[in-house]
């Protein structure tokens, strides 16, 4: 369980961005611990769930979100940070006397969250690299993307493209309720295990994906903060992954 705080100077104001990364295998909890980790509303919601997988994902997502928010507001304890779902199933943070947004993703036992104020919209996603999924993901690529992608050299590009599209759909708060073609990637560049790309229809956003042996983590953010945020973010993320 790791986290960090990133501060950026934008428009003569300091903006704080909190990031958390969790390996759920490292967390031990029981009902007494859950009552401290969750708000009363969250705890009661958890009690209505029947399946262990659903409970696992719920606790992982809530805890990851709370740790990210706590980087910005360290005075808050976990139970004071309530996370609910919006109308598009996006995470919504409810905390006393403050307004903050969050993007959240989890895959298997790993979870990642990024907390930010609404002036800097962001989105994050983590995906497992699985060869058996390549065919499905490939079927969702546009012809333009098929023309630029080098699947022989880097087969994980399929997963990276998918993660980047998930991330921008979260930044825009549309999810995949919008046709996936809207999120077409027009070009990309690879530097070792880092991939950056540009979206055909959203030039105002910058995006980066960090590739490990088994996972891709993608983040999308306004390109006006790219120089101050992008590279340093992944330097910190490497230490977490």
- The domain segmentation of the chain, as residue ranges, is 1-119, 121-241
| Same fold flag, 1-119 and 121-241 | yes
> What is the CATH code for 121-241?
3.90.470.20
List beta partners, residue 94.
82
The pLDDT, as a whole number, for residue 237 is 66
Provide the 10 A C-beta neighbour count for residue 1: 14
Torsion 155-159-107-38 (CA) sign: positive
Which DSSP symbol is given to 200?
Answer: S
The pLDDT, as a whole number, for residue 175 is 81
- Across the chain, which has 241 residues, the per-10-residue mean pLDDT values are 86 89 76 81 91 90 94 93 89 87 93 92 95 90 91 84 95 86 94 90 93 91 81 65 54
Whether 174 contacts 88, CB under 8 Å: yes
The pLDDT, as a whole number, for residue 143 is 93
The pLDDT, as a whole number, for residue 241 is 54
The pLDDT, as a whole number, for residue 161 is 95
Architecture of domain 1-119: Alpha-Beta Complex (3.90)
């Amino acid at each position: 369980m790791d986290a960090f705080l990133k501060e950026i100077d934008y428009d003569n104001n300091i903006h704080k961005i909190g990031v958390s990364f969790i390996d759920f295998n490292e967390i031990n909890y029981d009902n007494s611990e859950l009552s401290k980790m969750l708000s009363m509303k969250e705890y009661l919601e958890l009690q209505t769930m029947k399946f262990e997988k659903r409970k696992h994902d719920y606790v992982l997502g809530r805890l990851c979100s709370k740790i990210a928010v706590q980087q910005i507001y360290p005075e808050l304890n976990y139970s004071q940070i309530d996370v609910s779902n919006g109308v598009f199933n996006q995470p919504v943070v409810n905390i006393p006397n403050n307004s903050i947004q969050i993007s959240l993703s989890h895959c298997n036992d790993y979870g990642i969250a990024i907390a930010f104020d609404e002036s800097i919209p962001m989105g994050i996603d983590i995906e497992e690299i699985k060869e058996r999924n390549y065919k499905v993901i490939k079927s969702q690529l546009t012809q333009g993307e098929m023309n630029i992608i080098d699947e022989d050299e880097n087969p994980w590009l399929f997963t990276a493209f998918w993660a980047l599209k998930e991330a921008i759909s979260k930044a825009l708060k549309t999810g995949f309720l919008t046709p996936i073609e809207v999120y077409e990637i027009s070009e990309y560049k690879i530097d070792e295990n880092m991939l950056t790309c540009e979206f055909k229809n959203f030039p105002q956003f910058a995006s980066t994906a960090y590739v490990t042996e088994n996972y891709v983590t993608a983040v999308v953010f306004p390109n006006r903060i790219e120089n101050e945020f992008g590279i340093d973010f992944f330097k910190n993320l490497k230490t977490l992954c």
